[in-house]
Structure 1
Amino acid sequence: MAALPQKKISRLPAWLLPVLCLAAAIALPFVVPVYYVQFASKVLILGVLAMALNLVVGQGGLVSLCHAAFFGLSGYVLALMSPKYDAASLLLTLPAAVLAASFAALVIGALALRTRGVYFIMVTLAFGEMLFYLFHDADFAGGSDGAFINVKPELTIAGVRLLDLDKPLTFYFVVLAVTVAAIALLVTVVRSPFGHALAAARDNERRARALGFPIFRIRLIAFVLSGALAGVAGYLAAVQFGFVAPQMLGWHQSATVLVMVLIGGLSTVTGPLIGALALLGLEEVLKATLEQWKLAEGLIVIAIVLLLPNGVRQLWPMLFGDAEPKPARGKRATPAPTPAPETGHA
C-alpha cells in the first residue's frame, strides 16, 4: 500500500524539465563568473549545430560529415563582410551568412542525396574537405592563419544601437533566444506532416516512395534547413571568438558534433543540445584534472554509447519516471468485455 503514493510522486510532468532548464539558463549569468557565461554561450552555439545535424541524422537517417562546412562558411562570410575598423551590420551580415550556408547545402544536398548509405557519407565528407581546402589555400580568406573580426557586428536602427554583441551578457541572451527559437522551429518541423514524411522515408524508403512521397525533395528540404541552422550557429561562433579559421570547416568538427548527437540521443530534438553540454562539460573537467584527458574522454564516450543507447537524456525518465504511466512489461492490458451476441429470442 505504501509503494503506490511513492510511484505517483516519482512521475514528474513532461513539461517540468524544459521549464526548469530555461529558468536555470536565464538565471545563470547572474550567479556565475563571466567565464562560465561565455562557456554556456559556446555550449548553446554548438548545441544548435548539433540539433541542426540531428534533423538529417536522427529524423532523416542520413549521416552527414559536411555540416561543419556550413558552420565555418557562415563565419567566413561574416569575416569577409566586416569592415576593418567598424562594426558590421547584423541585419546585413546575418542573412547573407545564412543564405550562403543554405545555398551550399542546396548544392551539396542535390548531389549527395543521389547516393545512399556509406556513399552518402563519403560524398558529404568529400564536399566538406573541398570547402576546407578552399579557405585553407585562399589568400583572400587569410589562408591557414584564418581571419579576424576586429569589431563585432551590432544592430543599429536609425542611429540607435539596439544590440551590442561585444558584451558577454547581451551576447549570451541573444544566443539563448536563438537556441529557443531553433528548438521551437525543429519541434514544429518534426511534428508536422513534413516531419512524418521524413521519418517515413528514414524507416522504409521503398514503402514511402510507393505511397507517393517525393523522397528526394523532402530530404533536400531537410538538408537545406539543417544547413541554414548550422549557418546561424557558425555566425554566432564567429561573433563570440572574433576569429575564423579553416579548422571550423574540417571533418573533425563534423565528427565532434556527430558525437554530441549520439551521446545526447537521436530520438529527440533537444537531445543533441544535452549532448553538447555533456561533451563540453566533460572536456572542461578532464582538462583540469588529467594530462591524458583525450584518452579518458574517449573511454567515457564509448561507455555512454554502450550503456545509454538513447543518449544521456534518457537518465531523466530512468531517475524520475515517465510523464505517462506505462503498463508493466510482460503484462497485457485487460480487454473490455465484449457484449454477448443477440440470439433473436425474446
Structure 2
Amino acid sequence: MTEAARPLTEVSTETARPAPSPPVLRRLIVPLVLFVGLAVAPFFATYGAESFILSLLTRVMVLGLAALSLDLLIGYGGLISFGHAAFLGIGAYAVGILSAHGIDDLFVQLAVTLAASAVFAAVTGAISLRTRGVYFIMITLAFGQMLFFLATSLASYGGDDGMSLARRSLVFGHAILENDLGLYYLAFALLFALYGLCRVMVASRFGRVIRGARQNPVRMQAIGFSPYRYQLVLYIVAGMIAGVAGLLIANTSEFVSPAVMSWQRSGDLIFMVVLGGMGSLHGAILGAVAFLLLEEVLADITEHWHIIFGPLLILAVLFIRGGLTPLIERTRP
C-alpha cells in the first residue's frame, strides 16, 4: 500500500508519534555535563579568584570520589557503613608517614595506600558482613573509631594535632602537584577513571549479583551465588577507592590529622550520597558539589552557618525524594 492510499488517521498517528530517546543516552546526559563542566572549569577560573576556585573544586572532586565509593556500598549493596572515613585516613596517613621518612613518590604512596586499604577492608569487612542492619552500622563505626584513636596515639606523627607535609607528592621525581592546576587535573583524572571503573563493575554480572543480594540474599544463594563473597569484594573495592581519595586529601590540604577519619566525616559522606541520589554513582558526585558549595555560601554569610546548614540538609533529604539526580531527570525534557 502506498503512502497516499493509506488511511489518513494511520499516517497522522505515525507522524505525530515522537521518536523515543535512547535510554542509555538519557542516562549519560547528567554525568556528561558534570564531567565536561569540571574539565573546563579551570579555564573560566582565570576570570575570578583562580586559586580559591581550583582549591574548592579539587575538594569537591576528592570528596566526590569518597562519596562515589560509599555509594557502591549503600546504593548498590545496601550496606550502610558509618566508618567509611577510616579509609580516607589510611590514604592520608600513607602519604604523611611515608613523606616523614623521605618517600615522596606518588606511585609508591598510591601502592601503599591501596595495599593498606585492601587489607583493612578485608579484615574488617570479613567480620562486619556477618552482621546486618543496625549491627553492621555499629560495627563499621566501631572499626572506624578504633583507627581514629590509633591515629591520635601516634605521637611521632603529630598525634591528635596532626602533621604538616613538607611538600606534595612527586610524580616521577617532579613537583608537578605543587601547581594547583596539576593537582586539580590529577584529581579529575582519578575521579573520571574510577567512575568509569565503577560504572563497568555495576553493569557487569558482579553488579547484578550485588543488586540481587541486596534484594534477596537467600534466593541468590539458592541459585548458586555466595552473597557474602561478592559483598566482601565490593567492600574491599570501595575501601581502596576511598583510600585514593584520602591520598588526594593529604596532597590538597598538605596536612594530615585524625579528623579526616572521624565519624563526623563518615556522616558527611552519607549525607552526600543521600543528597545526590543513591545508586547512580554520579549522584554521589552531585551530592558532594551541592554539599560543599552550600557550605561555602553559608560560611560567607555568617560564622554560625552550621545552625542554618543542618536544617537545610534535613529539609533537602525530606522533600527532594530520591536526591538531586532523580529531580534533575524529572525536570529534564
Partner residue in 2 for 1:274: 286
Offset, 1:302: 1.4
Give a deviation string over 1:14-72, Cα, whole Å, max 9, x none.
23333332222122112112201110000000000001011111110011011111111
Alignment partners' CA distance in 2, 1:17 and 1:56? 22
Alignment partners' CA distance in 2, 1:19 and 1:53? 21
2:30 to 17, 37, 40: 17
Runs (5+) with no aligned partner, structure 1: 322-346
Partner residue in 2 for 1:68: 85
The one-letter amino acid paired with 1:305 is V
Partner residue in 2 for 1:91: 107
Give a deviation string over 1:169-205, Cα, whole Å, max 9, x none.
0110110000101110110111010000001010111
Partner residue in 2 for 1:325: none
Partner residue in 1 for 2:44: 31
Q: 1:107 to 1:41 in 2, by over 3 A?
A: same
Offset, 1:234: 0.1
Offset, 1:10: 11
Offset, 1:244: 0.6
| Cα RMSD, aligned residues only | 2.2
When normalised by structure 2's length, the TM-score is: 0.89
1:207 and 2:219 matched: yes
1:182 and 2:197 matched: no
Q: Is the 8 A contact 1:49 1:230 kept in 2?
A: yes
1:287 to 289, 292, 299: 299
Partner residue in 1 for 2:7: none
- SS of the equivalent of 1:82 reads helix
Q: Is the 8 A contact 1:78 1:235 kept in 2?
A: yes
Partner residue in 2 for 1:254: 266
Partner residue in 1 for 2:139: 123
Q: Is the 8 A contact 2:31 2:282 kept in 1?
A: no
1:141 and 2:157 matched: yes
Alignment partners' CA distance in 1, 2:20 and 2:118? 47
- SS of the equivalent of 1:116 reads coil
- SS of the equivalent of 2:243 reads helix
Q: Is the 8 A contact 2:74 2:279 kept in 1?
A: no
Q: Is the 8 A contact 1:57 1:63 kept in 2?
A: yes
Deviates more, 1:43-52 or 1:306-315: 306-315
Offset, 1:255: 0.6
- Count how many residue pairs are aligned between Structure 1 and Structure 2: 313
Q: Is the 8 A contact 2:72 2:234 kept in 1?
A: yes
Q: Is the 8 A contact 1:87 1:151 kept in 2?
A: no
State, as a whole percentage, how many aligned pairs show the same letter.
Answer: 34
2:329 to 304, 317, 320: 317
Partner residue in 2 for 1:166: 178
Partner residue in 1 for 2:207: 195
Partner residue in 2 for 1:337: none
Deviates more, 1:233-242 or 1:134-143: 134-143
The one-letter amino acid paired with 1:40 is L
Deviates more, 1:298-307 or 1:12-21: 12-21
Alignment partners' CA distance in 2, 1:216 and 1:44? 31
Alignment partners' CA distance in 2, 1:18 and 1:269? 9
Identify the structure with the greater helix proportion: 2
Could you list the runs of 4 or more consecutive aligned residues of structure 1 that deviate by over 6 angstroms after TM superposition? 7-12
When normalised by structure 1's length, the TM-score is: 0.86
Q: Is the 8 A contact 1:52 1:230 kept in 2?
A: yes
Partner residue in 2 for 1:45: 62
Partner residue in 1 for 2:127: 111
